[in-house]
Amino acid sequence: MKEIKVENRREGNILSRVFDELNEFCRARSLFILHYCTGCGAIELPPVMTSRFDMERLGVQPMVTPRQADILLITGYVSIKTLKRVMLTYEQMGSPKYVIGICSCTVNGGMYWQSYATAKKLDEYMPVDLYIAGCMPRPEAIISGLRSLIRNIELGESNNWKKYYENYDYYLGNQQKLFGDEWQTPVDVIGEAEHYGLVGEGTYGEHTEILQRVQQPLKPLEMRL
Amino acid sequence: MDTQIFTEISLSEILVELLLMPVIAFLVGLVMVLWMRKIGARVQRRIGPPLFQPLYDVVKLFGKKTQVSHGVVHDIGIVMAMGGYIAAETLLPVPGMNGIAVYGGIITLTYLMMIPSLGLALGVGQCANPNGSIGISRALTAMLAYDIPFVIIVFGVAFHHETTNLVEIITQQQQAGIASWGAVQNPLLALAGLATLQGMLGKQPFEIYIAPAEIATGPMVEMSGKYLGGLFVMQAFQLYTAAVLYVSLFLGGGESWFELLAKSFVVVSIPMMIAFVFPRYRTEDLVRLFWKWPVMIGLLGVAFVG
Amino acid sequence: MSEFLFELNMLDSLLLLSAVTVAIAILCRVEYISGGVVTLLYLAQLVVVGMMISAGGVFSSHLTPQLFGYELGWLLDGLGLYFTLITVGSALLATLYMAGEWGRRYREQGKSFRALQSLLALNVFTMQLLLASSDLLSLFISWELASWAAFALMALSGGKGLKAALHYMIYAFSGAMLVFAVVAWIATTAVTAAYQLDINGAGILQFSSVAELMQQGIFTIPEQLLMLTLLLIGFGIKMGLLPFHLWQAPAYALSIGPAGAFLGAISSRLGLFAIIVVLFKIFGSITDGSILQSSFGFEFASVTPKTLLAWIAVATIIFPTFVAMRQNDARHLLAWHGIGQGGYMLLGLVMMDSLGSAGGLLHVFNHATYQAALFLAVTSVIYRTGTADLNRLGGLVVRMPLSFMTLLIGIIGLAGLPPMNGFVSKWLVYRSLLDQGELLLFVGAVIGTLGTILSVYKLIHNMFLGSLRKEHEEVREVSWSMLTPMLILSALILLTGLFPGIPLQWVAQGLSAVGLPVAEFNLGGVMADGGSLDMVIVSMVLFSGFGVAALIFYFVGGKSKRVNPLDNYAGGHFLYASNRYHYSNNFYAGLMHLIKPWYKNTFQRLERVVVTLLELTAESLSRLYMRPHSNQLALIIVVLLLW
C-alpha cells in the first residue's frame, strides 16, 4: 500500500474553518462506540463502561447499530467468517469513523497465529486507528487508548477513515484474497466515494474491476412517478 | 375574555415569541438531557458526562460526513419529527410568552404532539428494517396505553378550570397561590400524571420499544448522522414539553423563568430516578399496567374534581 | 308543459338534471363517451347545489303527487343541501376516477361499465329524493328506492360482494319494515287527529305536522318512545350503529372500487340524516328529555334518549375501530373505520350544544373527503398490484408516490390529527363533551382516535413503507385521470383543515334548519368560551415549524446518500433480494397478546341466534301449512282473524 500523507490543511474560508474546528472539537468529545465482541477482550469492557472507570465522562457511550456508531471496537481474534461481518459493519458506519483493535490477536493474530481460519492483521482489511495491545489489556489501558484517540481526533490527525475510500482497491484486494473473487457487501463503497468526493488514487484498480464484474447492482430505489 | 387577547397581541411581538420559544425549549431540553444522564450516572455511582455533552452529541451527529438515507419519506419523517415539536413549543405558554397558546389550547397541543411521532413512524417505516417497524408497533401500542390516562388527566384539569386554554389554566393557579395548584387540588390526577410522564418519556420500565439488545434500538436502528441528530433534538424537545406541560397543569406554571425551570427540573428528575433502577415490562404488561392503575387513579381523581 | 318548464326552480332543475344523468348513463351505449358526459352532468348538478347554498333558504319542488290521499312533497333546506352537496361531490369525483383508464380496463375485463355508471347515477338520484323529502311518506318511499339502488350497486361486484349485498338487503329490509310500521301507525291515527286539530289532512304526514301531533299529545309518551325507538333502529341500521353494523364493512369493502369510495363516503350517512330528522324535527322534545321528566313522576334525567344514544355512539366508535385494527385487507380496514367514524357524528349531534352538533355535522363532510380519498388510493393500489392484502404489499412509496401522499393525507384526516380536517370536527366533539362534563364519553371517543392511529399506521406501513416486493419492481403510478380526483380530495382535506370556516358555514345552515344552536365561527375555526381553536394560525405555525426543521436538516446537516434497501442493518448478516426483510403480519403482536381474548365475536353470535330463531319459526310455520288439511286450517285462521 502506498502511504498516503494525511492532510491537515483546512479548506475554505474562515467561517467554514471555524465550523470545522467546532465539528472536530465536538467529534472528539462525543464518540459512540460499537463493540464487536469477537473474543476474550469483551470481558474488559463492562468495567470500562460502569462505575469503576466510567467512559461516559470522556463522552464515550455504547451504541447498538453501526449506523449510529463512530468507533468500531474489535475485541479479539477475527476468524475469516467473522471478518465478513466485521467488514459489513465497518462499511455501514457513517464517516468519520474510527477502528480500535483490542488485544494482540488484532495486531498479529496473537495465539491464533498458526490458525488457518483467522485473519491475522486487522489493518490489512480496514484502516485501524488504534491498537491496544495486551492479552488482554486492562481497562486502564482501554481508557488511555480512548484518550489518545480523542487527542488524535481533536488534532485532526485521525483521518484513517478516508484511507478506506482512497485506497479501496488495496483493502478490497486483501479481502478478495481471503473470501474469493465473488466477495461483495451490500454497501456500495465506490458509489459512496464518488458521491462524497472521496475518490483517491487507489480507489480504483484491478480488484475493483473484479468487483464490478461480479457485483449485484446496488442502485438505490429511486422514487418515480 | 378571549376577544381581548386576540386584539392585544401585535404581530411583531408574536413573531419574536414564535422564534424564541422553540430556541429556549431546545436549549433547556439539552440541559434536561444532561440532567437525565447525570442522574443516571449518579444512580449507578458514575461521574457521568461533562456539561456540554448533549450539545457535543448533536453537533457531531449533524457534522457527520457520510450518512445513509433510505428515501424521501425517511428525510421527511425526521423533518416532521423536529418541525412538529418546534411548532408545539409555541402552544406551550412560558413566563412572559404565550405564543399562539390561546388559539390552540390543551387538546390541540395533545394532538399536535402526535405529529412528531407520526413523522418518526413514517421515516422509520421507509427504512425497511423490521427492527424499526417492530419498534414503531410497540411505541404506538405504548402510546395507546399511556394516552388513555393522559386524556383523563387533561379532561380533569380542563374541567376543573372550565377551560382548555392553557394560559387561563396557569393564570388561575398563579392568582390563587399554592392552595389552588393542580397538585394540591387534584392530587390523584397529579399522581396519575407522573405515571403517564414515565410512559410518555419512554423511560424504563416502559422502554420496550427501544429494547437495544432485542430489536437494536427499534425506531433508531437505521438512523445515522443527522437523522439520529434529529431524533436527539426531538428528545430534547420532548423532555422539555412533557416537563413544562406537567408544571403548567399541576404546579402552577412559573411566574418567572427561574421558578418554571426549577419546577421542571424537579419534575423530570422523578422519572429518571425511577428509570435507572428498573428493568422493563413487556408490551402487554405495559398496556395492562397503564390501563389499570393510572386509569383508575385518574378516574378517581376526576370524580373528586368539583 | 311549457309553462311547467318555465317555472322550474332550482330544486326542480337539480332533480331533473339528476334524472337526466340516470337516463343518459342508461341510454348512452358508447361507453367511453358516457364517462365524460356523466361527469359533466354531475358537475352541473354540483353547480346547481352550489348556487342553492349561496342563495340560502328553503327550496320546494313543484313535484307534489298524491298517494292514498296524502300529499307527497319534496323540499330542500340547509340540512338536506349540506348532505346533497357531499353526495353530488363524491359522485362527481368517483365518476371522474372511473371515466378514464380505470373504466377502460373495467370494460376490457368484459364487465358492463354502463351498469356501474347508471347504478351510481341512480344512487345519486334516489339519495337526492331522500334528502329533499319533506314528509314521512316521501321519506319512506325514497328511503326504499335508495336502499334498493345501494343494493344493486353493491351486488354488481358479484361473488362475495353479492353475498354481502344480500346481507345488507336483509338488514335494510327489516329496518324499512320498522319504519313502515311507524309511518302506517302515524298515518292511520293522524287522519282522525287532523280533524280535531284542524290541520290540512293531505299534508298531515309532513314533518312539521307530525311534530305538532306529537306535541299535542295525540300519542302518549310511551307510544312516542316506541315510535322513536323503531325509527332509530330502522335508520340506525343504514348508518351501521351498533348492534346493527355487521352488514356494512363487507358490503362496502367488496363493492367495485370507485363505487365503494362513493358508498363509503356518503351512503351510510343517509341513516344519520334520517336520524337527525327524526330526533330534531319530529321528536325534538323527547330527545332532550324535557317531556320525559315532566310526564314521569320519578327522576328520569339519568337515562334520557340523549345519554342512551351517546353511549351507543361511543360503542359504535370503539368496537368497529378495534375490529378494523385486526383486518388484513385494506378495504375492509377502511370500511370498518367508516362505521366507527359514524359514531363521532352521532355523538356530536346528540350533545345538542353548539360545538358538539357543529362537530358532528362537520364530521360528515370531513369523513366523506378522507374516506373517498382513502378508498380511491387503495383502489389505485389494487389497480396496479391486483391485491389489497396488507401482507402481500409493501414499499410502494417509491413506485406510487402520489397515491402514497393521498393515503397519507387521508389517514391523518381519519386519525384526526392536525392540520387535516378530521381534527377540527373531532376537536369540536371533544370540546362539547368537556363542556358537558361527560368524562367517560370523552375517554371513549379518544380511545377510538388512538385505536384509529394504530390501525392507519399499519395500513400505510404495510402498503407503502417497508421493503418493496420483487414482483412490484415494475409497478407504476396510476394515470392522471385517476390521480386527479385523488389529488382534489387531498387538497380538500388540507384546505378544509386550514379553513374550517368554509364547511362550517354550510354546517351552520344545516343546524339552523333543524333548530340546533350554531357556534360562533370564523374562517380559521371556532371561538368559544373556555378555549378557542384557530386552525389558520395553528397550521401556519406547524408548517413554519416544518420549514425551519427542513432548513436545519438539509442545510446544517451534511450530505446524505440514498442507498439500496439491501444495505440495511441485520445484526451483521448479509441481506439478499430473495429474503423478505419486512414486518407486516400480526403488526401489533404485543397489544394483541393482551386484547385478543377480548374479541369475542359477540355480535356475530347474536346475529346467528336471531337467524336460527327465525329459521326455527319459519320451519315450524311451514310444517303447519304443509300438513294435509291445511286449507281447513287456513279457513279456521281466517275466520278467527275476521272475528
Domain that holds residue A64: 14-158
- Out of B107, B165, B299, the one facing C430 most closely (by C-beta) is B107
Residues 193-252 of B with CB under 8 A from C: 208, 216, 221-222, 225-227, 229-230, 233
Q: Which residue has the cell 346533497?
A: C84
Return d(Cα A189, Cα C306) in angstroms, integer: 67
pLDDT band, very low/low/confident/very high, at B253 (cuts 50, 70, 90): confident
Please tell me which residue of chain C has the smallest CA distance to B106.
Answer: C531
Take residue A94 and report the three cell numbers written for it: 457513517
pLDDT of residue C519: 82
CA distance A122 to A128: 7
Write down the pLDDT at residue A185: 87
CA–CA min distance B181, chain A (Å): 39
Query: B206: pLDDT confidence band, cut at 50, 70 and 90?
Result: confident
Helix (H, G, I), strand (E, B) or coil at C476: coil
Interface test with C, best of A88, A91, A185 (most C CBs within 10 A): A88
Average pLDDT (B214-223) is 87
CATH number at residue A110: 3.40.50.12280
Contacts of B71 in chain C (CB under 8 A): 397-398, 562
Q: What is the pLDDT of residues C623-632, one digit of tens each?
A: 777 766 777 7
Matching residue, cell 388540507: C494
Query: What is the per-residue pLDDT across B119-170, written as a single tens digit (0 to 9) for each?
Result: 999 999 998 889 999 999 999 999 999 999 999 998 888 888 888 888 888 8
- Are A88 and A191 part of one and the same domain? no
pLDDT of res. C3: 47
Q: Within this chain, do residues A19 and A50 fall inside the same structural domain, yes or no?
A: yes
Q: What pLDDT score was predicted for residue C338?
A: 92
From C401, C564, C568, residue closest to A223, measured CB to CB: C401
Identity at C153, one-letter amino acid code: L
- A149 and A165 housed in the same domain: no
**Nearest CB neighbour to A224, from listed C399, C567, C575:** C399
pLDDT band, very low/low/confident/very high, at B2 (cuts 50, 70, 90): very low
Q: How confident is the model at residue B4 (pLDDT cuts 50, 70, 90)?
A: very low
Burial profile C304-315: b = 16 or more Cβ within 10 angstroms, e = fewer: bbbeebbbbbbb
Give the one of C460, C537, C590 whose C-beta lies nearest to B283's C-beta: C590
Of A92, A185, A219, the CB nearest to C569: A92
Which of C185, C186, C72, C172 has the alpha carbon at shortest distance from C130?
C72
The SS3 call for residue C135 is strand
Q: Are residues A99 and A47 in the same domain?
A: yes
Contact B59, A26 (CB under 8 A): yes
CA-based nearest residue in chain B for residue A222: B71
Which residues make Cβ contacts (< 8 Å) with residue A194, sequence separation at least 6? none
- A197 touches C: beta carbon within 8 Å: no
Q: Does pLDDT of B70 surpass 50? A: yes
Q: How many C-beta atoms lie closer than 10 Å to residue C10's C-beta?
A: 15
Please state whether A54 falls in left (phi above 0), alpha (psi between -120 and 50) or beta. Answer: left
Last residue of a domain, one of A158, A188, A206: A158
- Which chain B residues touch A220 with a CB distance below 8 Å? 71
Q: For position C302, what pLDDT does the model report?
A: 59
Q: Which residues of chain C have pLDDT under 70?
A: 1-7, 194-202, 285-303, 627-628
Spatial separation of the C-alpha atoms in residues A122 and A101, rounded to whole Å: 8
Cell of C446: 379518544
Q: Which of A173-187, B53-67, C6-20, C538-552 has the lowest mean pLDDT?
A: C6-20
Pure H helices in C135-256: 136-155, 160-197, 207-216, 221-239, 248-254
Burial of C166 (0-12, 13-18, 19+ CB in 10 A): middle
Distance CA C60, CA C138 (A): 13
Among chain C residues, the shortest Cα distance to B167 is held by C531
pLDDT at C295: 60
Q: Taking CB atoms and an 8 Å limit, are C558 and B226 in contact across chains?
A: yes
Amino acid C189: pLDDT: 80
Nearest to A94 among B59, B64, B71 (CB): B64
Query: From the CA of A219, how many Å to the nearest CA of chain C?
Result: 6
DSSP conformation class of C219: S
Question: B105 vs C538: CB contact, 8 Å cut-off?
Answer: no
> Is A7 a member of any domain?
no
Q: Which residues pair with A33 in a beta bridge?
A: A62, A71
Could you tell me if residue A55 is inside a domain?
yes
Any CB–CB contact under 8 A between B101 and chain C?
no
> Which residue among C467, C548, C590 sits closest to B284, beta carbon to beta carbon?
C590
Number of compact structural domains in chain A = 2
Chains that touch C (3 or more CB pairs under 8 A): A, B
* Cα–Cα distance, A52 to B47 (Å, whole number): 10
What would the pLDDT profile of B21-36 be if each residue is shown by its tens digit? 899 999 999 999 999 9
CA angle C512, C516, C520 (to 5 degrees): 75
Contacts of C545 in chain B (CB under 8 A): 22, 82-88, 90
Same domain, A105 and A197: no
Give me the pLDDT at residue B76, please.
92
- Closest residue in A to C402 (Cα) is A225
The number of beta carbons lying within 10 Å of the beta carbon of residue C493 is 26
Percent residues over pLDDT 90 in chain B: 36
| C-alpha–C-alpha distance, residues C616 and C243, integer Å | 22
For residue B1, pLDDT over 60 is answered with no
Closest CA–CA distance from residue B161 to any residue of chain A (Å): 45
Alpha helix segments (H runs only) across C386-516: 401-415, 421-435, 439-464, 480-498, 501-513
Residues A143 and A47 in one domain: yes
Name every chain C residue with its beta carbon within 8 A of the beta carbon of A67: 569
Domain membership of residue A126 (yes or no) is yes
B177-201 pLDDT, tens digit per residue, is 888 888 888 888 899 999 899 888 8
List CB contacts (< 8 A) between C401 and chain A.
Answer: 223-225
So what's the pLDDT on residue C585? 86
| CB-closest option in C398, C569, C577 to A67 | C569
Chains sharing 3 or more CB pairs under 8 A with chain B: A, C
Identify whether residues A150 and A170 lie together within a single domain. Answer: no
**C553–B82: do the CB atoms touch at under 8 Å?**
yes
Torsion angle of the four alpha carbons C191, C196, C201, C205, in this order, in degrees rounded to the nearest 10 = -60
Nearest chain B Cα distance for residue C446, angstroms: 8
Tell me what the mean pLDDT of segment B35-60 comes to: 90
What per-residue confidence (pLDDT) applies to B8? 54
Distance from CA of A221 to the nearest CA of C (A): 6
Contact at CB, C569 and A84, closer than 8 angstroms: no
With beta carbons under 8 A apart, name residues in chain B contacting C591: 141, 144, 283-284, 287
Position A177 in a domain:
yes
A221 touches chain C (CB under 8 A): yes
Contact call for C533 and B104, based on CB within 8 A = yes
C101 vs chain A: nearest CA distance in angstroms?
16
Closest CA to B168 of C533, C525, C530, C428: C530
Q: Are residues B62 and C556, on separate chains, in Cβ contact within 8 Å?
A: yes
Q: Are residues A54 and A85 in the same domain?
A: yes
* Contact criterion met (CB < 8 Å) for B127 and C532: no
Please tell me whether residues A97 and A202 are part of one structural domain: no
CA dist B87 → B113, B234, C409, C500 (Å):
9, 12, 19, 20
Q: Which of A10-24, B258-272, C75-89 has the lowest mean pLDDT?
A: A10-24
More confident residue, A41 or C624: A41
Neighbours of A210 (CB within 10 A): 17
Nearest CB among C538, C563, C594 relative to B288 is that of C594
A152 in the same domain as A165:
no
B288 touches chain C (CB under 8 A): yes
Distance from first CA to last CA of chain A, Å, rounded?
Answer: 46
- pLDDT of A3: 55
Q: What is the reported pLDDT for C10? A: 81
User: Do the domain assignments include residue A5?
Assistant: no
Please give the Cα distance from C311 to B134 (Å, whole number).
35
Going by their DSSP bridges, the two strands A71-74 and A31-36 should be labelled as parallel
C-chain residue closest to A64, CA distance: C571
Complex confidence, ipTM:
0.92
Instruction: Give the global pTM.
Output: 0.91
Residues C259 and B28: their CA atoms lie apart, in Å, by: 53
CB C202 within 8 A of CB C70: yes
In C, which residues are within 8 Å of B86 by CB distance? 545, 548-549
Residue A218 pLDDT > 60, yes or no? yes
Sort out which chain B residues have CB atoms less than 8 A from C569's CB and list them.
Answer: 129, 131, 216, 221-222
Cell 316506541 found at: C226
Q: Which of A23, A51, A67 sits opposite B222 (nearest CB)?
A: A67
User: Does the residue A9 lie in any domain?
Assistant: no
Tell me whether residue A8 is in a domain. no
Interface touch B217/A64, C-beta < 8 Å: yes
Among A158, A183, A202, give the residue marking a domain's end.
A158
- Both A188 and A170 in one domain: the answer is yes
Instruction: Give the phi and the psi of residue A167 in degrees, each rounded to 5.
Output: -120, 30
Q: Do C558 and B63 touch (CB under 8 A)?
A: yes
Q: Kindly determine whether residue C563 and residue A220, on different chains, have CB atoms separated by under 8 Å.
A: yes
Rounded Cα gap, residues B187 and A59, in angstroms? 40
Is 90 exceeded by the pLDDT of residue A99? yes
Q: Which among A65, A92, A221 has the least Cβ separation from residue C468?
A: A221
Q: Is residue A1 part of a domain?
A: no
Q: Hey, which chains touch A, using 3+ CB pairs under 8 Å?
A: B, C
Interchain contact A18–B (C-beta under 8 A) = no
Q: How many contacts does A have with C, using Cβ atoms within 8 A? A: 58
CB C569 to CB A66 under 8 A?
A: yes
Q: Are C495 and C39 in contact (CB under 8 A)?
A: no
**Which chain B residue lies closest to A26 (C-alpha atoms)?**
B56
In this structure, the answer to whether residues A178 and A145 fall within a common structural domain is no
pLDDT at site C314: 93
C-alpha to C-alpha distance for C341 and C259, rounded to whole angstroms: 19
* pLDDT of B5 above 50: no
